[in-house]
Amino acid sequence: MASSSSSTSFLLSFFAVFFLSISWATSDSIQDNFYQCLSQNSDPSTPLSTAFYTPNNTSFTSLLQSSAQNLRCLMPSVPKPDLIFTPLLESHVQAAVICSKRLNIHLRVRSGGHDYEGLSYVSELESPFLVVDLGSFRSINVDIAGGTAWVDAGATVGEVYYRIAEKSKIHGFPAGLCTSLGIGGHITGGAYGSMMRKYGLGVDNVIDARIVDANGRIHDRDSMGEDLFWAIRGGGGASFGIILSWKIKLVPVPATVTVFTVTKTLEEGATKTLYKWQQIVDKLDDDLFIRVIIQVENAAKKGERTVTNSYNALFLGGIDRLLQIMATSFPELGLQTKDCVEMSWLESVLYIAGYPTSVTPEILLQGKSPFKNYFKAKSDFVREPIPETGLEGLWKRLLEEDMPLMIWTPYGGMMSRIGESETPFPHRNGTVFKIQYLSIWGDADKESPAKHVEWIRRVYNYMASYVSMFPREAYVNYRDLDLGMNKNGSGTNFVQASIWGAKYFKNNFNRLVRIKTKVDPDNFFRHEQSIPTLPVSRKRRGRKSHHG
């Protein structure tokens, strides 16, 4: 019996080592083949060895983690890429597409690492996979005379803001509030910020782009055509190609802007103040952006907690005019001169992003996020004010969680004057505000995120009757895999994808699918929530009707 047991143990050990060695050999051969293919398809004057990282490299893990925003997506149980490629030239990106296609290696693209579900550097569905990290693509060329700038995909939003302000104190760009966002992926989802009520989104202020398609060819707006140019401005990242750079339109900003943050607790009448904010926020002067940051903090009474509502604002003008507008439109907040600070637009970027006042704008050039957490997020769009009873039910649920966070972002202004189909981003006229839900946890809970994920799902379910319906809308840059996922491999299901596609894009989803089918019929650029291609039968019918 002992002999039989030892024989079994020996066989199990043998097969474990055997299959592990096959795995290593396979991984090594993938990396070797990819490197050889890149060398054959790239400019030989630029060595590739410094741009090629495998798990055997000592710097592999630090590079993988460098721009990843959600620590939940870096846990040991989450699949890691077989290699990371950091291209230095546009031709390297072209070669990466050609070689991954030729060798059948799944490809992911990362510009800033802010995908909420980590889809720019994680593939739960396909293996092997590689990450093309565009962190070396950071060139920013600002043309003040022409009112434009060309910005590379790997540059951060903060770097873009800094380089614009370096050339002019009265120019800016209406994009993200978080300064470490990679501009490449950020704009593909919409790109909202504190000037959205004045100038719309980042996508509304893009006038050209350079993109690598599924065949490894580079296109600008002229050669890609207006359909594809429409799709990449709000249709979500990594479905149509690899963005190399954007040409953005600069917008005028005053030499002096004003910011303020006023906080109300439940004991200070937060519920009634927030109910009033909902009634007026989309109707305020276009120069005024007031978002609400909702958190749970310790109450004045020891051992108790309360909900706080912080009204965090940017006004494109001086204090005097701001106080006049607030006295007329939102006196309930009780804004006073002492609450307001005048500063430059670039300084306001730091203020809204939550940096301490002691920090100088040069920190934006570091291109790194000071805020990394384990988190799960969701989003909603609200078209009617939530009644006070609804808010009270929400407070009760927030107090059940350790570190809940909600951010309510105001709409109206320019957002109401741009049509739903002008870009794939459809959340326009009729939206009063957007909700971002977050549950955040620390190292102590990193192995047991389930209770936090379940909490945010319960809150999301509670809010169903107070938010948009048919569809219940969601923001694609707040990626949420709870809404649904594509199947493994290239065989994505159009009907399944329509469920989350309608939430992100409403009626624009069908046009996105048609464009995807035309420009990437083999579905090379894919991930868990990429735009699918049309079913084969529908493709055939489309061709017949075209010729008929």
Place of tokens 């490629």: 85
Interatomic CA distance for residues 525 and 509, integer angstroms: 17
8 to 5, 13, 14, 15, 85: CA distances (angstroms): 5, 9, 10, 11, 42
Element holding 38 (H helix, E strand): helix 2-40
- Which of 302, 441, 436, 454 is closest to 379 using CA atoms? 436
Residue-wise over 310-334: b if at least 16 C-beta within 10 A, else e? Answer: bbbbbbbbebeebbebbeebbebbe
Structure tokens at 97: 């597409």
Residue 441 corresponds to which tokens in the numbers above? 């946890």
Sheet holding 52-53, edge to edge: 52-53, 83-85, 129-133, 106-110
Residues forming beta bridges with residue 148, ordered by sequence position: 143, 249
Helix and strand tally (H, E) in the chain? Answer: 16, 18
| Rounded Cα distance, 156 and 139, in Å | 10
- What's the rounded Cα separation, in Å, for the pair 331 and 325? 9
460 is catalytic: no
Q: How far apart are CA 1 and CA 534, in angstroms?
A: 60
Between CA 465 and CA 443 the distance in angstroms is 34
Candidate list 53, 351, 437, 478, residue with the active-site label: 478
Taking every pair of C-alpha atoms in the chain, what is the biggest distance, in angstroms? 91
Separation of alpha carbons 408 and 206, rounded Å: 25
Handedness of CA 498, 502, 507, 512 (dihedral sign): negative
- Active-site residues: which are they? 478
